[in-house]
């Protein structure tokens, strides 16, 4: 998303821009997303939920998002919801395909299948983090087993490598990621949203060794903390044990029972086949695997999205936007799309200036 936003804004400002997209299509993970672009309703919640994030960048996202959403709407992007459905947050939901088309129609020529690595001119890095690189995920996130990818396949850390090669510094939170626990079964990108097993708060949560490693009372509303904890258990897997009461709980418009029924049969484990004794009252066990959507740590930038060196000074001619820029939602989770939108605009405006 950040690249489409930055290129659109640069053209708005009368600048010539070349958009290079490594993939076979535009839209990145935005196109696969639920497309709710949001911020915390209260500033204090943002700080509390993402305590180790860079306060200046959080402030930028928090303060600029409403105007940035209005800018998107002014381009012709039509929200499908005017609110997020979560009382803690405010924002808008768009249809990802139509938002991609709206931005794509304004960016000018796009070179597909081009990784931009040879670009010598001023560059805004917007490669979507490093979640698709098993090498970088192993090095920085250090999961106990391979994570499944729940995102576009092209975000392999090219922006991070380019920034690092130019002397750019990295942020805190390099071992953190946003993702979901997904059924431990085959699925594809059309099922990323529908198959998310987003009911850990009502489950008893065990690992392959039968250790109950996460207390459901501590599961955050986004469930990011339980997904990160699952990544650290053997094979990055967990079992959600559900009783009748848990099955009757609701996640938006569906019951947990309906979510479980929709999961592939391979992920539903008969209680007698579990590698440990299930807690009393359990009626269903679902085996899940930690799946990465995007990384949270990344390139250090300032409020103008300029890439910063180790000494804190900006590098000449290099910006980073979207989740290539790290350290905004560290310690928790905040909207990656909001980060892409606000930093994409900030980078374009600074580059143009």
Ligand X SMILES: Cc1cc2nc3c(=O)[nH]c(=O)nc-3n(C[C@H](O)[C@H](O)[C@H](O)COP(=O)(O)OP(=O)(O)OC[C@H]3O[C@@H](n4cnc5c(N)ncnc54)[C@H](O)[C@@H]3O)c2cc1C
Residues lying near ligand X in the complex (CB under 6 A)? 1-3, 20-23, 28-30, 32-37, 115-116, 126-128, 150-152, 154-155, 158, 192-193, 293-294, 322-324, 335-338, 340
| Residue 247 vs 345, nearer CB to ligand X | 345
Would you tell me the crossing angle of helices 336-352 and 2-12 to the nearest 10 degrees?
Answer: 30
Q: How far is Cα 18 from Cα 126, in angstroms, rounded to an integer?
A: 13
| Residue 151 vs 219, nearer CB to ligand X | 151
| Residue 12 vs 115, nearer CB to ligand X | 115
Least distance to ligand X, CB of residue 100, Å: 9
- What is the maximum alpha-carbon separation in the chain? 66
Least distance to ligand X, CB of residue 193, Å: 5
| Residue 37 vs 286, nearer CB to ligand X | 37
Among 4, 314, 304, smallest CA distance to 128 is for: 4
| Residue 129 vs 278, nearer CB to ligand X | 129
∠ Cα 325 327 332 (to 5°): 125
CA distances from 16 to 72, 116, 150, 346 (A): 20, 16, 34, 17
Least distance to ligand X, CB of residue 91, Å: 8
| Residue 154 vs 240, nearer CB to ligand X | 154
Residue 185: CA count within 13 A, CB half-sphere:
17
Q: How far is Cα 265 from Cα 283, in angstroms, rounded to an integer?
A: 15
**Which residue number has the CB closest to ligand X?**
336
Least distance to ligand X, CB of residue 202, Å: 22
Least distance to ligand X, CB of residue 259, Å: 15
Contact 163, 310 (CB under 8 A): no
Least distance to ligand X, CB of residue 212, Å: 28
- The DSSP string of 172-206 is S-TT-EEEEEEESS---GGGTTTT----GGGSEEE
| Residue 337 vs 342, nearer CB to ligand X | 337
Would you tell me the crossing angle of helices 2-12 and 96-104 to the nearest 10 degrees?
Answer: 40
Contact 89, 39 (CB under 8 A): yes
Least distance to ligand X, CB of residue 152, Å: 5
């Amino acid at each position: 998303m950040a690249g489409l936003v930055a290129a659109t804004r640069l053209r708005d400002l009368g600048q010539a821009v070349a958009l290079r997209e490594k993939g076979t299509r535009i839209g990145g993970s935005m196109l696969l997303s639920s497309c709710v672009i949001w911020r915390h309703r209260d500033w204090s919640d943002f700080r509390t939920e993402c305590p180790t994030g860079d306060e200046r960048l959080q402030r930028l996202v928090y303060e600029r998002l409403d105007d940035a959403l209005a800018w998107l709407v002014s381009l012709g992007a039509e929200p499908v919801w005017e609110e997020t459905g979560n009382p803690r947050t405010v924002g808008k939901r768009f249809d990802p395909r139509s938002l991609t088309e709206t931005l794509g129609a304004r960016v000018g020529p796009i070179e597909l299948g081009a990784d931009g690595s040879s670009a010598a001119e001023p560059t805004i890095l917007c490669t979507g983090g490093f979640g698709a690189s098993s090498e970088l995920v192993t090095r920085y996130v250090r999961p106990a087993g391979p994570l499944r990818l729940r995102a576009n396949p092209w975000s392999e850390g090219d922006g991070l490598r380019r920034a690092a090669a130019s002397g750019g510094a990295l942020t805190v939170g390099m071992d953190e990621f946003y993702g979901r626990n997904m059924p431990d079964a085959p699925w594809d990108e059309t099922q990323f949203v529908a198959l998310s097993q987003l009911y850990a708060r009502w489950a008893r949560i065990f690992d392959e060794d039968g250790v109950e490693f996460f207390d459901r009372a501590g599961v955050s509303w986004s469930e990011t903390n339980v997904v990160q904890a699952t990544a650290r258990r053997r094979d990055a897997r967990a079992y959600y044990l559900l009783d009748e009461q848990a099955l009757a709980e609701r996640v938006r418009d569906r019951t947990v029972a309906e979510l479980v029924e929709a999961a592939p049969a391979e992920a539903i484990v008969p209680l007698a086949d579990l590698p440990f004794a299930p807690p009393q009252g359990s009626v269903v066990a679902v085996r899940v695997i930690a799946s990465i959507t995007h990384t949270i740590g990344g390139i250090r930038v300032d409020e103008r999205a300029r890439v910063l060196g180790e000494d804190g000074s900006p590098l000449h001619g290099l910006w980073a936007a979207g989740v290539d820029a790290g350290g905004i939602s560290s310690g928790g989770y905040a909207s990656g799309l909001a980060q892409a939108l606000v930093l994409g605009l900030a980078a374009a405006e600074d580059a143009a200036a």
